[in-house]
Amino acid sequence: MRTSTTARAGQYAALLAYLAFLAFPFLWLVSTAFKSPRELGSPHPAWIPRHPTLDNFRQAFDAQPLLHAALNSLLAAAGAAVVAVVIATPLAYVMARRRTALTRAATGWVVVSQAFPLVLVIIPLFLVLKNLRLIDSLAGLTLVYVVWALPFALWMLAGYVRAVPAEVEEAAAVDGAGRARTLFSVVAPLLAPGIVATGLFAFVTAWNEFFFALVLLKTPEKQTLPVVLTHFIGAEGVADLGPLAAAAFLATLPSLVVFAVVQRRITGGMLTGAVKD
């Protein structure tokens, strides 16, 4: 079925509108980050700052230990991503390939566990971590991020495993490969895009997470970036808008860079072999 030119134009217009909708908050953030206080108070806001300034960045760095906080965030997020993927990959394989009552129940519980609100678990979690002497430690926070990311990571990876045809494993077995060799040499490479996507999900979730970090970390030197960002916000939501925007802009950069670098590989990997030549 051929799409008419008008319909195609409409589709592109809708796509552009959607992209603009998605990009608006980020572009506004960038614009705000480079505006002076006077321009921020201007009754005629402009997208492109009339007198671009780096003062907001200077103030943000002067006021808060942004680099140190970013390093803490990086350690917690990267640690959580790696550990979550290492744990989730074999579990997801079992959940996808072994269709028993236990795996079905586990899958159901994974989905249900997503429904628990954060505030419900924070106090018990705090007490558990306190008994383990993991309060005020990045390792403790990383552990929480791993546990928090695992259900969705499992569910996501199980979907990727199901997409790998069982015949591929059977073919490997016929060729004489053992279970471990099949998993590491045949299944794992095919799962690579899924593993990367899941790792990214765990990374971004942990990188952006605020409440656990706020509650679990006490020492200022251990605070993560989202917590430090709130130090630009005062009572009743009044904010030091320029420095806040500058710091928030810098905080979004790692996620953007990681996605930009990895995105092509993910989609490329997902499509590999999808169509028979």
Interface residues with another protein (CB under 8 A) are: 37-38, 40-45, 59, 62-63, 83, 87, 106, 109-110, 113, 119, 122-123, 126-127, 130, 132-140, 142-143, 146-147, 150-151, 210-211, 214-215, 218-220, 223, 227, 230-241
| CB 126 to another protein: min, Å | 4
Q: Which is nearer to another protein, 109 or 259 (CB)?
A: 109
Q: Which is nearer to another protein, 54 or 271 (CB)?
A: 54
Partner residues linked to 239 by β-bridges: 233
| CB 235 to another protein: min, Å | 5
| CB 17 to another protein: min, Å | 25
Type of residue numbered 165:
P
The encoded tokens of residue 224 equal 């993560």
| CB 251 to another protein: min, Å | 15
Q: Which is nearer to another protein, 110 or 196 (CB)?
A: 110
**Rounded Cα–Cα distance for residues 125 and 131 (Å):** 10
- What single DSSP character describes residue 239? B
| CB 266 to another protein: min, Å | 25
Q: Which is nearer to another protein, 148 or 160 (CB)?
A: 148
Q: Which is nearer to another protein, 8 or 99 (CB)?
A: 99
Work out the number of other CB atoms within 10 angstroms of the CB of residue 59. Answer: 18
Residues ≥6 apart with Cβ < 8 Å to 151: 110, 111, 113, 114
| CB 14 to another protein: min, Å | 30
**Rounded Cα–Cα distance for residues 49 and 266 (Å):** 36
Q: Which is nearer to another protein, 90 or 273 (CB)?
A: 90
Q: Which is nearer to another protein, 145 or 160 (CB)?
A: 145
Residues ≥6 apart with Cβ < 8 Å to 178: none
Type of residue numbered 26:
F
Q: Is 159 left (phi over 0), alpha (psi -120 to 50) or beta?
A: alpha
User: How many degrees, rounded to 5, is the angle at CA 101 between CA 99 and CA 107?
Assistant: 75
Q: Which is nearer to another protein, 72 or 182 (CB)?
A: 72
| CB 32 to another protein: min, Å | 12
**Rounded Cα–Cα distance for residues 75 and 77 (Å):** 6
| CB 142 to another protein: min, Å | 7
For residues 127-158, one letter each, b for 16 or more C-beta atoms within 10 angstroms of the residue's C-beta and e for the rest, the string is eebeeeebbebbebbbbbbbbbbbbbbbbbbb
**Rounded Cα–Cα distance for residues 257 and 234 (Å):** 30
